């Protein structure tokens, strides 16, 4: 057993010395005021030897309002309590110390909030994006680290890496291949795309070949080419072919080139929004071809997250279309940088409080 006696000008200093010498689990045996100082007897022995039924000291609202000196006085015996005109200076010191401790605790609680930590430590805009889940390796690709960019500027860099702008190859293609897993909305998307093309060209200018295997698709394309060759060359006829992700796109493109090398083909990878970053990185292949684009579906059911955008950028995919509304006549839009920038900025600022 170790029992020590500590004297100090105030209780806070005395308690600090007790904890330094005996640790945080030290037990206070007695507290007294001797010659104008606080004397604390403490031990690291079994508490049961000193009190039969210990009860915790609970600081209720009254104690917090009155201050620590009043709590201390309530624990001192009547004969040990100072007279009204004795020890006033020490009491004032204790009160000030307690108030300072409370201010420091309040500050620590405030700083424990990540958003407030950003404000107090002046963390850069890049850190805000990292706190939203964007990898540092992705942010480092943007040429802004030497300056002091705004949230809007970083959002614009991210959006430009994600959005596919005006693309002549896409606009001049004759065949559009729609790839996606079951449930991605290939059939509805194909109908929306058909509506869009027919509004741009003329009615009945677009033919949809429903989801099928490569062999059947090649046969249908041959017949379609034979029947519409002149209009296809004039960009007055286009076709849409649906495939599942299990089909071999390289094999189809190779065989299609043997039929007609002059054909321009665009590939649209469909992905419904609301998919996790981890799933996309693990299951979605990297973009390999220049004529390969991304279309995000089901935006009427779920919002696009910043982490999804980050995953697509890391995988090299460029977004061509946003699709929502379960109607074949509406709800398909070309993606735009400005629209995406606004979405990213609002998301980041909403997390700042």
146-193 confidence digits (pLDDT tens): 567 888 989 999 999 999 988 999 999 999 999 999 899 999 999 999
In this prediction, residue 63 carries a pLDDT of: 41
- The residues pairing with 38 across neighbouring beta strands, listed in sequence order, are 8, 33
How far lies 45's CA from each of 1, 4, 48, 314, in Å? 5, 11, 9, 60
Average pLDDT over the chain reads: 82
Closest CA to 268 of 179, 187, 143: 179
Q: Residue 117 pLDDT more than 90?
A: no
In this prediction, residue 165 carries a pLDDT of: 87
Q: Which of 100-104, 234-238, 284-288, 313-317 has the lowest mean pLDDT?
A: 100-104
Q: Which of 24-28, 182-186, 276-280 has the lowest mean pLDDT?
A: 24-28
CA 272 to chain centre: 18
Cβ-contact 323, 192 below 8 angstroms: yes
In this prediction, residue 104 carries a pLDDT of: 76
Q: Which of 85-89, 116-120, 213-217 has the lowest mean pLDDT?
A: 116-120
Q: Assign 140 a pLDDT band (cuts: 50, 70, 90).
A: confident
What is the mean pLDDT of the segment spanning 208-229? 91
In this prediction, residue 162 carries a pLDDT of: 96
All CATH 3.40.50.300 domain ranges of the chain, comma separated, are 164-335
CA 114 to chain centre: 13
Q: Residue 80 pLDDT more than 60?
A: no
CATH of 164-335, one of 1.10.10.10, 3.40.50.920, 3.30.465.10, 3.40.50.300: 3.40.50.300
In this prediction, residue 310 carries a pLDDT of: 95
């Amino acid at each position: 057993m170790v029992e020590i006696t500590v004297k100090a000008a105030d209780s806070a200093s005395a308690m600090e010395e007790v904890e330094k010498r005996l640790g945080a689990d030290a037990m206070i045996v007695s507290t007294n005021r001797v010659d104008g100082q606080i004397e604390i007897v403490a031990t690291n022995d079994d508490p049961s030897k000193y009190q039969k039924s210990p009860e915790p000291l609970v600081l209720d609202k009254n104690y917090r309002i009155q201050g620590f000196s009043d709590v201390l006085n309530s624990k001192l015996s009547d004969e040990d309590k100072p007279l009204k005109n004795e020890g006033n200076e020490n009491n004032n010191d204790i009160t000030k110390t307690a108030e300072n401790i409370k201010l420091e605790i309040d500050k620590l609680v405030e700083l424990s909030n990540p958003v407030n930590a950003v404000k107090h430590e002046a963390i850069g805009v890049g850190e805000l994006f990292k706190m939203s889940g964007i990898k540092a390796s992705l942010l480092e690709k943007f040429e802004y680290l030497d300056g002091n960019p705004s949230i809007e500027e970083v959002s614009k860099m991210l959006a430009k890496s994600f959005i596919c702008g005006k693309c002549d190859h896409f606009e001049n293609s004759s065949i559009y291949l729609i790839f996606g897993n079951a449930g991605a909305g290939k059939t509805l998307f194909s109908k929306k795309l058909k509506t869009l093309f027919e509004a741009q060209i003329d009615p009945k200018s677009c033919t949809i070949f429903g989801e099928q295997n490569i062999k059947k698709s090649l046969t249908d394309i041959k017949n379609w080419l034979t029947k519409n060759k002149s209009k296809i060359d004039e960009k007055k006829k286009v076709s849409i072919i649906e495939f599942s992700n299990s089909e071999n796109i390289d094999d189809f493109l190779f065989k299609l080139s043997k039929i007609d090398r002059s054909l321009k083909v665009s590939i649209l990878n469909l992905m419904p929004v609301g998919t996790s970053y981890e799933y996309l990185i693990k299951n979605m292949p990297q973009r390999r071809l220049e004529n390969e684009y991304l279309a995000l579906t089901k935006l009427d059911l779920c919002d696009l997250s910043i982490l999804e955008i980050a995953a697509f950028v890391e995988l090299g995919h460029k977004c061509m279309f946003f699709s929502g509304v379960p109607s074949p006549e509406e709800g398909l839009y070309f993606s735009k940088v400005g629209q995406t920038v606004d979405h990213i900025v609002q998301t980041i600022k909403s997390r700042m409080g």
